[in-house]
Structure 1
Amino acid sequence: MYCLGCYKKTGKPLCIKCSKTLFEGAKVPFELDFDAPKANNAELQNNTKKMSIPGVQLKYSLHLKGDKLALTPKNGQFILKPIPPIRYLDAIEDVPENEHLTMQIAAQVFKMDTAHNGIIYFRDKEPAYITKRFDVKADGSKYLQEDFAQLLARTEDTDGPDYKFEGSYEAIGRFIKKNVAAYQPELEKLFKIIVFN
C-alpha cells in the first residue's frame, strides 16, 4: 500500500507525516460517508452554493469534526474536488489523481511550497482530490490574502472585465523588485513557479 498523500510505501492509507500535515494526526477514514456528486444528490448540491473559492472545477467545502470529514456550506478547512461531471472527455476519471500527482511533483521534486493534499474516496469508491486550505487558521478565522491583481491595483474599471488574466509576469517581477527588500530569491521563486506551470 502506498500513502495517499506522498506516495511512500506504508501499511496505512496515510503515512505518519501526511497524517500530521493533512489532518493534524486525526485518524480520518479514507472513505467519505456520502457518494460522489450526481444530479440527484441534493446534500452535495446544497453545499456548493455558498463557496467563494474561484475556479471552474466543481468543489466542496469540508470541515474536520473529530476524526470525520463533514460537508459544510462555509468555514471549511478542506477543499474536495471530485471527478468533473463532464464524463465524455478522455481519461476524465484521472483528474483527481492528476492534480494530486502534479502537486506532489511540485512539492517533492521541485521543492515548492504547496497546500497539503491527498486522495480520498467517496462511499461509492469514486476518487476525489482533497487539499487543506492554507488561508484558514486553526480557530477557523482566515488569513488575509491578496493576489497580484490587487497588489498591482488592477480592477475591472481600470483594466476591463478580464483584468485578472491579462497582466504580465514582467509587471509582477517589477512589482516584486520595487517592493521587496530581498527581491532576488523571490524573483527566482516566481520564475520557478512560472516554468513549472
Structure 2
Amino acid sequence: MNCLVCERALQDRNRPYHPHCAQVLFGSSFVPAIGFAYADIPTEAQKLIGKMSISGVQPKLSVVVNKDEKRFSVVPTGGTHILKPTPEAFPFLSENENLCMNLSREMGIETPPHGLVKMADDRLAYVIRRFDRDTVGNKIPVEDFAQLLGKTDKYDGSVEQIGKFLKRHSCVPFIDTQKLFVRILFFFLMGNGDAHLKNFAFVWRPAGYRLADGYDIVSSRLAFAKESDEMAITVGGRKNRLVKKDFEDLAKYLEIADRQRDRFFEMARALGANMGAYVRNSFLPQKQRDELMAIFQERFARLF
C-alpha cells in the first residue's frame, strides 16, 4: 500500500498517509474526513454559487479543515484547500493529477502541497492547498497569464509571450524563465496538452512578483484520448510535431545558457529512466498506466 500523497510505500499499512505527508497537506496530525459522496456534489456546490472564481470543467469545491469536527467543510470564502472530485466523464482524473504533480517535483517544478483523499463513497478525490492564501488565510495577489497578456481566449498565446513577460517583470527573470522552460519540457513529455494561459500565474512574493508554483498539471492526452493538439499554447509557432530543436530554440529565446539547457535535458532523461517505477506506484489502474507510459515513451523518443 502506498501513501495517498507521495505514492511511496507505507510502513504502517493501517494509515493511508505518511505522518509527514499528512501534516504538510492538511496542517494537522489527523486526516480530515469528507462527509459527502460524489453524488452530493451538486448540493455542496450550491453553497458556493456566486462566491467562487475558480474556473474549469472539473468540479471544484473550496474547503477548510474543521479541526473541531476533524473533517473538511465546504466554505464560500476563506478556503485553505481546493477539493477536486473526479468527473464522471473522465475516470481517474484525480489519480492522473496527483501522479503528474508528484512527477513534476522530480523535474524540480515547485508545487503546492497536494494529495488524494477518500470521499464518503470511497471514491478518490484530489485536494490541493491554495497557493493564493497565506498561512492565516489572507489573499495573496495572483494574476494568470490570460489576464496579464490581455487575452480573452486562454488558448490564444505562446510560451514565448509568457517568457517575454517574465523577462520584463519578474523580480528574478533568469530563474523564472528557466522554471518556465522546465515546465514546458515536462508538459510535453507527459502529454499535458491543456496547459493554457490560465494554467500559468504571476504571484506576489516578499521579494517581488514571481512565476507561481505549478498547478492543474495532468496528462490531458491520457484523460482525453482524442485531444487534437500536443500543446495548448504554441512553442515556436506550433502546437504539434515538436522535436528537440524546438526546445533548443525555446531555450535560446529565453536566454538560457546551453550548459543549463543541457542540464534540464538530463533531468528529463533521469525522469525517463525511473518513469516505470513512478507509474507503477501510482493509483492509476493498469490500463491507464500502460497508456501513460506509451504517451511518455513516444514523446521521449522525439527528444532523445
Fold shared by both chains (TM-score > 0.5) = yes
The residue aligned with 1:77 is: 80
Equivalent position amino acid for 1:19 in 2: A
Deviations 1:72-95 (A, max 9, x none): 122211111112032xxxxx3311
With over 3 angstroms needed to count, the CA separation of the structure-2 counterparts of 1:34 and 1:179, relative to structure 1, is closer
- Give the superposition deviation at 1:177: 2.2
The residue aligned with 2:184 is: 194
Q: Which has the higher helix share?
A: 2
Corresponding residue SS for 1:176: helix
More displaced stretch, 8-17 vs 126-135: 8-17
Q: Does 1:119 align with 2:120?
A: no
| Aligned residue-pair number | 181
Correspondent of 2:18 among 15, 20, 32 = 15
- Give the superposition deviation at 1:61: 1.2
Instruction: Provide the TM-score with structure 2 as the length reference.
Output: 0.55
More displaced stretch, 140-149 vs 177-186: 177-186
5+ residue gaps, structure 2, are 188-304
Corresponding residue SS for 1:129: strand
Q: Does 1:106 align with 2:104?
A: yes
The residue aligned with 2:160 is: 170
Correspondent of 2:136 among 134, 139, 152 = 139
Q: Does 1:26 align with 2:29?
A: yes
Cα contact 1:37–1:82 (8 A) shared by 2: no
Cα contact 1:47–1:61 (8 A) shared by 2: no
Whole-Å separation in 2 of the counterparts to 1:121 and 1:194: 31
RMSD: 2.0
Deviations 1:118-160 (A, max 9, x none): 11111111111111111112222111102223434x15xxxxx
Corresponding residue SS for 1:146: strand
Whole-Å separation in 2 of the counterparts to 1:62 and 1:100: 18
Deviations 1:91-130 (A, max 9, x none): x3311101111111111x2121112111111111111111
Identity %: 35
More displaced stretch, 118-127 vs 67-76: 67-76
4+ residue runs over 3 A deviation: 149-152, 179-182
The residue aligned with 2:44 is: 44
5+ residue gaps, structure 1, are 87-91, 156-160
With over 3 angstroms needed to count, the CA separation of the structure-2 counterparts of 1:115 and 1:37, relative to structure 1, is farther
Equivalent position amino acid for 2:114 in 1: N
Equivalent position amino acid for 1:7 in 2: E
